[in-house]
């Protein structure tokens, strides 16, 4: 009787040994789930920040600041090329989508509708609670911000003076403009632009791979960001801003867990519970990273798992990550304007509230998917004629507010493509009903999911078609 053939390399298990062979060497200690790592980072950050502030541990405070700043800087480092490639490549992919202009128009329309609802909620909460009353803050506590936003800058700053400055100064609006022009030009050139498009797609995948490594550092970044906030401001800060902080969180929660589920149920006819179960990885990362653009690869994976066609989702999600900001550009500016007006003793009239709505709905692109909402806040205050020193009153509490704002932003960036796809009858409802949460491990999972789905279907069936 012949002896069995030797085990092939492919038959080895994940530890590198053949089946049946004794386990040798070290055993890898399994890491807790990503959400558990985030919670651990939050708890550790609070503890270390409290220690640094209570006992004046300077080296610990500096370490927390460096860790948090480094994590944010790594995210910002990827923003410019990621936005450019994501927008440009997504536009070229629209050649595979029937009625692409209609889909883009419907996406923009739903962005505007949800922004209008969000700013209305923000104004209503502000009028009911008067967040600036009884805070003990005075105009002397404010300071003008280092950067400001104005309508002139917003309108004239869309077109860059050169192709380098938008990336060095991280002007996302100008980067979006360059990306849109590049993508449309590639569409017009057709097959002649195929090598450039292929290079762009490969580079985008490489960049997403690198960004995924940064995302995996989010628990460590959380320690630094939360610890720094506690060390610098302590708990006393929350007392002065208690009403304002609660207003922002309640407003965002109403949009996140009220408006979006209602629209998903009524407008799209899908289960909100299934949406949140699948979107949980993107929401938790957005809460910690405070960056819609930094969360972009995870948000795209969420929409694909929810049955949104990849060709459409790869356009809608990057577009939303730079322009769709219900938390930062709708709820927050409305409450901030009311808060600052009360501190400075300015009475707002009906015209002012109409202007708040206009700025929030039209000017949300100024927020640009980065951490913080200073530009959008200054744009709102300058439009209303309120003192820009009021922004200085809000900077101290901003990191704590930005977490909830960004989670709301990202939820909307995932929900709107689902709504549009469902109404245009291109949503894979079977995939939606089977969508589950996933562990944030590797960006290759995104491509594997999409490529596997593409391989399973004939080429003719992969073309996205909308209802007549």
- Per-residue burial over 235-259, b if 16 or more Cβ lie within 10 Å, else e, is eebeebbebbbebbbbbbebbbeeb
More confident residue, 375 or 203: 203
pLDDT tens digit sequence for 249-268: 999 999 999 999 999 999 99
Q: Which of 302, 360, 278 is nearest to 327 (CA)?
A: 360
Instruction: Locate all alpha helices (DSSP H) within 306-461, ordered by sequence.
Output: 310-323, 332-343, 350-362, 374-384, 390-395, 398-423, 429-434, 444-456
Q: What is the pLDDT of residue 22?
A: 47
Q: Is residue 465 within 8 Å of residue 98, measured between CB atoms?
A: yes
Q: What is the pLDDT of residue 153?
A: 60
Q: What is the pLDDT of residue 466?
A: 43
C-alpha to C-alpha distance for 425 and 429, rounded to whole angstroms:
9
Q: Which of 238, 182, 240 is nearest to 400 (CA)?
A: 238
- For the chain, the average pLDDT equals 81
- 57 backbone dihedrals φ, ψ, rounded to 5°: -85, 95
pLDDT tens digit sequence for 40-59: 988 999 899 999 998 989 99
Among the listed ranges 2-11, 57-66, 368-377, which one has the minimum average pLDDT value?
2-11
C-alpha to C-alpha distance for 389 and 405, rounded to whole angstroms:
22
How many residues appear in the chain? 468
C-alpha to C-alpha distance for 165 and 445, rounded to whole angstroms:
34
- 115 backbone dihedrals φ, ψ, rounded to 5°: -65, -40
- 14 backbone dihedrals φ, ψ, rounded to 5°: -65, -20
Task: Report helix angle 444-456 to 296-305, nearest 10.
Answer: 30
Instruction: Extract the tokens encoding 290.
Output: 């405070």
Instruction: Extract the tokens encoding 21.
Output: 């062979």
Among the listed ranges 65-74, 340-349, 361-370, which one has the minimum average pLDDT value?
361-370
């Amino acid at each position: 009787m012949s002896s069995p053939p030797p085990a092939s390399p492919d038959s080895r298990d994940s530890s590198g040994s053949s089946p049946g062979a004794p386990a040798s060497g070290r055993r890898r200690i399994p890491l807790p789930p990503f959400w558990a790592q985030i919670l651990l980072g939050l708890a550790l950050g609070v503890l270390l920040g409290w220690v640094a502030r209570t006992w004046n541990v300077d080296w610990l405070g500096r370490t927390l600041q460096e860790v948090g700043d480094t994590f944010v800087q790594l995210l910002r480092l990827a923003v410019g090329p990621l936005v450019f490639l994501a927008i440009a490549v997504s536009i070229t992919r629209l050649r595979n989508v029937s009625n692409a202009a209609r889909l883009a128009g419907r996406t923009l329309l739903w962005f505007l509708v949800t922004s209008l609802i969000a700013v209305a909620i923000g104004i209503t909460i502000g009028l009911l609670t008067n967040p600036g009353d009884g805070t003990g803050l005075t105009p002397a506590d404010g300071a003008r911000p280092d950067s400001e936003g104005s309508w002139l800058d917003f309108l004239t700053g869309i077109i860059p003076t050169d192709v380098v400055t938008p990336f060095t100064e991280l002007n996302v609006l100008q980067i979006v403009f360059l990306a849109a022009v590049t993508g449309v030009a590639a569409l017009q050139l057709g097959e002649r632009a195929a090598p450039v498009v292929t290079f762009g797609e490969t580079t985008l995948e490489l960049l997403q791979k690198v960004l995924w490594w940064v995302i995996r550092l989010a628990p460590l970044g959380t320690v630094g960001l939360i610890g720094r906030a506690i060390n610098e401001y302590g708990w006393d800060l929350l007392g002065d801003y208690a009403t304002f902080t609660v207003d922002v969180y309640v407003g965002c929660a109403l949009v996140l867990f009220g408006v979006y589920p209602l629209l998903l149920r009524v407008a799209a006819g899908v289960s909100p519970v299934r949406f949140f179960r699948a979107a949980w990885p993107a929401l938790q990362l957005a809460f910690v990273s405070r960056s819609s653009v930094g969360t972009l690869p995870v948000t795209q994976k969420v929409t694909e798992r929810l049955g949104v066609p990849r060709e459409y989702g790869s356009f809608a999600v990057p577009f939303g990550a730079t322009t769709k900001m219900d938390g930062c550009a709708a709820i927050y500016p409305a409450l901030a304007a009311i808060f600052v007006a009360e501190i400075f003793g300015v009475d707002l009239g009906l015209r002012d509230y109409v202007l708040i709505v206009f700025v929030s709905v039209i000017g949300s692109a100024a927020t640009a998917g980065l951490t913080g909402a200073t530009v959008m806040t200054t744009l709102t205050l300058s439009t209303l004629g309120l003192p820009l020193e009021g922004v200085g009153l809000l900077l101290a509490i901003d990191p704590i507010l930005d977490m909830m704002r960004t989670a709301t932003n990202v939820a909307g960036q995932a929900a709107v493509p689902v709504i549009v796809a469902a109404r245009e009858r291109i949503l894979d409802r079977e995939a939606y009903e089977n969508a589950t949460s996933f562990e944030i491990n590797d960006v290759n999972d995104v491509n594997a999911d999409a490529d596997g789905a593409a391989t399973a279907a004939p080429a003719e069936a992969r073309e996205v078609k909308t209802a007549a």
